[in-house]
A and B are shown apart, each in its own frame.
Chain A
Amino acid sequence: MPIKTSLARARQRIPHKEKPAAPKSSRPGPTKSQYAQAELAGQDFNSLTARSPAHSPVHESQGPNMIPLNPLFTDYPPIRDRLATASSTVQDDTVAECLPFLAGDVRTVPCNEHGVPRLDRQRHIKFLRKNLGKLPGRFVSLDASRPWLLYWCLNGLSLLGADVSDYRVDLIETARSMQNDTGGFGGGIGHDSHLACTYAMVLALAIVGGEDAYEVIDRRALWRWLCTLKQPDGGFRMAVGGEVDIRGAYCAAVLITLLNLPLDLLPGSPAWTEDGPNLFTGLGGYVRRCQTFEGGISAQPNGEAHGAYAFCALGCLAILGAPHRTFTSFLDVPRLISWLSSRQYAPEGGYSGRTNKLVDGCYSHWVGCCWPLIEASLAGPSSLMFDVNKTKNSNIDVHNLYSREGLIRYILCCAQDQSKRGGMRDKPSKSSDAYHTCYVLSGLSSAQHVTRLLASDGEGLMTHSKYDVLPYTGSPQIYDEEDRVSATDPVYFIPEGKRKDIMSYFLSKPGF
């Protein structure tokens, strides 16, 4: 069977796809730079091969049953400005880069009748396992982020349904080597403790689970260290002498609740006053100050709205209390939703992280995983008896505030490395890595499931809201059932059972 690269056909296809729906405001045809990009993309993918549709057994057998592709995902958007600037040029280039993948012109794995490639589960598992092994010297840039590598890989493997228990013993020793006596985990052996690294390491330990793994964590030292990071403005420093930003707010909230740490603030803390504030004092207010005029959330007050920080903000508020209460009391929710919704682009289907920036697979998580919490906040607690695709408290279709189909198409068509390498990526011209693999899969999980807030027992802190995460069964389901990845906890982003295990372990543990 002749195997040829996608390049020639990608080149052919782009002009045909370019049928401006609104000729008056559209630019005619693709620009030179679009061709250049397609070419470049083709070179980047020279490890890929593509079957010509006429010869492909997959297409032949499924050809007659192929459901015509929705032009939403194969055409340029109906309104495009004539004025070209750096931003619009790279945006056009990105669409040109994605279109051949969305239209099914680049194939190395079988497609279903919706023109969507299968999830290459085994290759992604292999890719993640490789990232947990011995790494070559060029990984030195991740030397201060090793706990992150552990979390990305273990969470990614869990989402793919792979068994991670064989990593338990080694993970425990690895974690031990990076824990500091002064509390918390560093990015490597002998590195200062860092809130993000500690967050990642604790989640990794929770994912492998078991008493040995939990007991590695020096909770008392961790709590003391958190007290030194707590700031008078309510936020948290990422490290002693490090920056204060909203990641700290989320990471600290996760650690405190997951490990059942006391909220009490030690007198030595920079945030300590006579009023007796605790670790959560002013945290909601800090998150609120990070919301911008666009509706999204920035890293620090008055910055630019950014997808990753939106997720941190909502995760933090969802820990401080039930989303239907905390979101509305700390945020302008309508503007937040407007901004979140603006992150999804067509034809790409994926999310961007900021206004006028490009789609990137990792925002499938950062933006995509905001939605289940938004859904919960809009619907409020619902009863178990209720149908998962409707909600009790309103007639709003809260589970379809964004295009699940678009996101899943982007993930399976564009964000999957379809070569032998496996793994997930930012966009077709980028190579896969553990970070994107974890967060693209997490976004996929969120798009394939619905989340409901079951019950929340009110105002008190440290009372975990209960969620119900079930498969989303609405149509069209453009992926095969076997390609549904596992459900995950909508606040902590580890498997739900693992979250329960570690929480109940520390809740029932006597003493501290």
Chain B
Amino acid sequence: MPPKNKGGGRAKAAEPAQQEPPKQPQTVRELEWQRYYDTNPHQKAYEELGLHGMTPADRQAYLNQEYLKPGAAKTLSNKAQKELWKQLNESNLPLRSLPRPRDSHWGRDKNGRDIGDYTIEEYGAHEAKTTKLLNLFFQSQAFKSKREKASNGDGHLVGDTVQPFTCTEDDFEREKVRRKEMADLQQDLYSVKTDPYALDPEWDDVVPIPQVEPEGALAAIAYPDEYAEAMSYLRAVMAVKEHTPRCLRLTERIISLNPAHYTVWLYRFSIVKALNIAIPDDIEWLNEVSLTYIKNYQIWNHRQLLLDHYYPTIVTSPSEVAALGDSERQFLERMLEEDAKNYHVWSYRQYLVRKLGLWDEEERQSIEALLDEDVRNNSAWSHRFFVAFSDPAHATPGSHATEPDPRVPAGVVDREVAYAQAKILLAPQNQSPWNYLKGALVKGGRKLGSVREFSEQFVTNLGGVGDAEEEVRSSHALDLLADIYKEAGEKEKADLALRRLGEKWDRIRKGYWEYRRKMLE
């Protein structure tokens, strides 16, 4: 290799470009430039030496090449054009010269990296993905067009016959897979998230209606994307009162995101009715939801609506009614295992007893099991009172819970009084069975005095001091005794009981005990 003339840059630049050792391009940008110079062989010399610095032969070749650019040759006369083609033929110039690269045309990827800086391999992979995406897009378009033709009843020629376009289930499945693939590619290439509903060809015909908040809206929630999207599809289908299976699935989605959304629940029930869905199917789904959202309120109205709708269809079949009662009770027991005092579960249970006529031994035993577990479970006590005293077999219709009902058999009153007393003995300071006892006595038209002895066992030496010091094992016994003494005309004793409650045994309620004392007068 000849020694380089380090003093004259010009001399170096004068060396023909082709003689530089070919550099392996590292990035696609470099590759592009390389290809550009490869297909514009005199460009480099022109850039470095200028038109006048070039050898006459190079200059001629360069200019000829310029004329090769689209349209340029037409500016020459016919004769000149002929000369040009002749020279080109002789000079072995590449017939297609690539345009000069623009450095900005690569764009940036989702991470902000200039794609021009990709290695050749990286770029290859990138390009494979974009090509794939484009292909998928065309296939998806083809699917849509086929589906549209199918729905229009269009036909196409197969051999000699016209066959209608059909969109099979397979087509739909393939389209779903395709959209998933497209969404993944878009996410991968451009970080663009595709909404799940846009992925589903089933929803193509729905134009989602996004929520538009007024300016300055108060307590506006920044909805998570999936909720906002599902809701905008809901608005769209509700607006046209659509009742289809896909809407049913949409309600499931929204309920899973916000079970307190009463509008969706009401809409769901209207769909169930319109589609004549088998109620047990919806109840099965509902059971799952209920166990997941244990505190939810709307679930129970929905369940009640389902039952009201279903019951008339089975009312003539006692075995079906019994089976429904069994499965409902089983489920309620499962719910109460999670939360034994869940207000909505108990409300529903009262509805159920009334609807299906479950005023039976089994109902009472199921309550007793809960009270055996926690004798302080007031919800269970309340339910027991309802089952015992509202049974239409012996209760006066419309009898008020706080008033006597002469129709209730003495046996029932005896049984309930005895039950309450037995439970009081387990934990005398538990107010639930005391309230129950009083309630049962009043319902049965019994004198409160009938439990005087029973109540007095929890109070020793009322008002006593010193050796015979007063001892009270239940303030609720003392409360009831005050009423018992009043009923018996023993006003002073009643007053003493109330006074001691306020002074010692239940001081936080002193104001109330004082009021009760005044009421003795």
State whether A190 and B211 are in contact (beta carbons under 8 Å apart), knowing that A88-B376, A173-B217, A402-B512 are contacts in the complex: yes
Judge whether B215 and A400 touch: CB under 8 Å: no
User: Given the complex, which residues of A lie within 8 Å of B431, measured CB to CB?
Assistant: 342, 355-356
User: Given the complex, which residues of A lie within 8 Å of B432, measured CB to CB?
Assistant: 355-356
Chain B residue nearest in CB terms to A355: B378
Tell me if B39 counts as interface (CB < 8 A to partner A). no
1/0 per residue A269-309: CB within 8 Å of B? 00000000000000000001101111100111011111000
1/0 per residue A385-422: CB within 8 Å of B? 00000000011111011110010000000000000000
A486 to B221 CA separation, bound complex (whole angstroms): 30
User: Given the complex, which residues of A lie within 8 Å of B389, measured CB to CB?
Assistant: 293
Judge whether A239 and B262 touch: CB under 8 Å: yes
1/0 per residue B300-313: CB within 8 Å of A? 11001100000000
Judge whether B263 and A191 touch: CB under 8 Å: yes
Judge whether B509 and A344 touch: CB under 8 Å: yes
Residue in B260, B347, B402 whose beta carbon sits within 8 Å of that of A303 in the complex: B347
Residue in B220, B263, B430, B442 whose beta carbon sits within 8 Å of that of A135 in the complex: B220
User: Given the complex, which residues of B lie within 8 Å of A292, measured CB to CB?
Assistant: 382, 385, 401-402
1/0 per residue A242-285: CB within 8 Å of B? 11000000000000000000000000000000000000000000
Residue in B257, B343, B402, B506 whose beta carbon sits within 8 Å of that of A304 in the complex: B343
1/0 per residue B127-152: CB within 8 Å of A? 00000000000000000000000000
Tell me if B323 counts as interface (CB < 8 A to partner A). no
Tell me if A461 counts as interface (CB < 8 A to partner B). no
Judge whether A86 and B340 touch: CB under 8 Å: yes
Tell me if B373 counts as interface (CB < 8 A to partner A). yes
Tell me if A335 counts as interface (CB < 8 A to partner B). yes
Chain B residue nearest in CB terms to A304: B382
State whether A293 and B442 are in contact (beta carbons under 8 Å apart), knowing that A135-B221, A176-B214 are contacts in the complex: yes
Judge whether A140 and B508 touch: CB under 8 Å: no
A416 to B374 CA separation, bound complex (whole angstroms): 32
Give the shortest distance, in Å, between B105 (CB) and chain A (any CB): 39
1/0 per residue A2-30: CB within 8 Å of B? 00000000000000000000101100000
Tell me if B471 counts as interface (CB < 8 A to partner A). yes
A141 to B471 CA separation, bound complex (whole angstroms): 51
A87 to B372 CA separation, bound complex (whole angstroms): 13
Judge whether A137 and B222 touch: CB under 8 Å: yes
User: Given the complex, which residues of A lie within 8 Å of B300, measured CB to CB?
Assistant: 243
- B417-472 with Cβ < 8 A to chain A: 426-432, 435-436, 438-440, 442-443, 471-472
Give the shortest distance, in Å, between A244 (CB) and chain B (any CB): 10
Give the shortest distance, in Å, between B461 (CB) and chain A (any CB): 14
- Interface stretch of the complex, out of A74-82, A97-105, A107-115: A74-82
- B343-397 with Cβ < 8 A to chain A: 343, 346-347, 350, 373-379, 381-383, 385-386, 389-390
Q: How many A-B residue pairs have CB under 8 A?
A: 249
A233 to B475 CA separation, bound complex (whole angstroms): 39
A334 to B402 CA separation, bound complex (whole angstroms): 11
Judge whether A150 and B378 touch: CB under 8 Å: no
1/0 per residue A347-368: CB within 8 Å of B? 0010000111100000000000
Judge whether A81 and B430 touch: CB under 8 Å: yes
Judge whether B262 and A357 touch: CB under 8 Å: no
Give the shortest distance, in Å, between B25 (CB) and chain A (any CB): 48
A191 to B221 CA separation, bound complex (whole angstroms): 15
Judge whether A241 and B266 touch: CB under 8 Å: yes
Judge whether A137 and B223 touch: CB under 8 Å: yes
Judge whether A134 and B220 touch: CB under 8 Å: yes
- Interface stretch of the complex, out of A48-56, A119-127, A164-172: A164-172
A331 to B426 CA separation, bound complex (whole angstroms): 32
Residue in A72, A79, A240 whose beta carbon sits within 8 Å of that of B429 in the complex: A79
Residue in A153, A240, A300, A346 whose beta carbon sits within 8 Å of that of B266 in the complex: A240
Tell me if B518 counts as interface (CB < 8 A to partner A). yes
User: Given the complex, which residues of A lie within 8 Å of B220, measured CB to CB?
Assistant: 134-135
Judge whether B511 and A397 touch: CB under 8 Å: yes
Judge whether B386 and A302 touch: CB under 8 Å: yes
Tell me if A61 counts as interface (CB < 8 A to partner B). no
1/0 per residue B78-112: CB within 8 Å of A? 00000000000000000000000000000000000
Count class of interface residues, chain A = 35 or more
Tell me if A1 counts as interface (CB < 8 A to partner B). no
Tell me if A144 counts as interface (CB < 8 A to partner B). yes
User: Given the complex, which residues of A lie within 8 Å of B473, measured CB to CB?
Assistant: 25, 79
Judge whether B222 and A242 touch: CB under 8 Å: no
Judge whether B511 and A400 touch: CB under 8 Å: yes
Judge whether A131 and B219 touch: CB under 8 Å: yes
A292 to B347 CA separation, bound complex (whole angstroms): 13
State whether A78 and B505 are in contact (beta carbons under 8 Å apart), knowing that A141-B258, A294-B439, A304-B346 are contacts in the complex: yes
State whether A137 and B224 are in contact (beta carbons under 8 Å apart), knowing that A241-B266, A241-B269 are contacts in the complex: yes
Tell me if B44 counts as interface (CB < 8 A to partner A). no
User: Given the complex, which residues of B lie within 8 Å of A344, measured CB to CB?
Assistant: 508-509
User: Given the complex, which residues of B lie within 8 Å of A357, measured CB to CB?
Assistant: 341, 378
A307 to B510 CA separation, bound complex (whole angstroms): 20
User: Given the complex, which residues of B lie within 8 Å of A150, measured CB to CB?
Assistant: 218-219
Judge whether B378 and A143 touch: CB under 8 Å: no
Judge whether B509 and A342 touch: CB under 8 Å: yes
User: Given the complex, which residues of A lie within 8 Å of B262, measured CB to CB?
Assistant: 144, 187, 191-192, 194, 239, 242
User: Given the complex, which residues of B lie within 8 Å of A339, measured CB to CB?
Assistant: 435
1/0 per residue B233-256: CB within 8 Å of A? 001001000000000000000000
Tell me if A329 counts as interface (CB < 8 A to partner B). no
Give the shortest distance, in Å, between B92 (CB) and chain A (any CB): 68
Give the shortest distance, in Å, between B204 (CB) and chain A (any CB): 22
Give the shortest distance, in Å, between B498 (CB) and chain A (any CB): 12
Most chain A CB within 10 A, of B262, B374, B402, is at: B262
User: Given the complex, which residues of A lie within 8 Å of B475, measured CB to CB?
Assistant: 79
A243 to B377 CA separation, bound complex (whole angstroms): 25
State whether A144 and B258 are in contact (beta carbons under 8 Å apart), knowing that A136-B222, A293-B402, A293-B439 are contacts in the complex: yes
State whether A349 and B402 are in contact (beta carbons under 8 Å apart), knowing that A79-B475, A141-B258 are contacts in the complex: no
Chain B residue nearest in CB terms to A21: B504
State whether A293 and B263 are in contact (beta carbons under 8 Å apart), knowing that A86-B340, A176-B214 are contacts in the complex: no
State whether A85 and B376 are in contact (beta carbons under 8 Å apart), knowing that A293-B442, A396-B515 are contacts in the complex: yes
Q: A144-B262, A349-B508 are in contact. List 14 more A-B contacts (CB 8 A).
A: A78-B505, A132-B218, A133-B219, A140-B257, A144-B263, A173-B217, A177-B214, A187-B261, A187-B263, A291-B400, A292-B385, A293-B382, A303-B350, A406-B508
Interface residues of A (CB under 8 A from B): 22, 24-25, 72, 77-83, 85-88, 131-137, 139-146, 149-150, 153, 167, 169-171, 173-174, 176-177, 186-187, 189-192, 194, 239-243, 288-289, 291-295, 298-300, 302-306, 332, 334-335, 337-339, 341-342, 344-346, 349, 354-357, 394-398, 400-403, 406
Can you pick out 8 interface pairs between chain A and chain B where the beta carbons lie within 8 Å of each other?
Answer: A131-B219, A140-B258, A142-B260, A174-B216, A241-B266, A241-B270, A294-B382, A342-B509
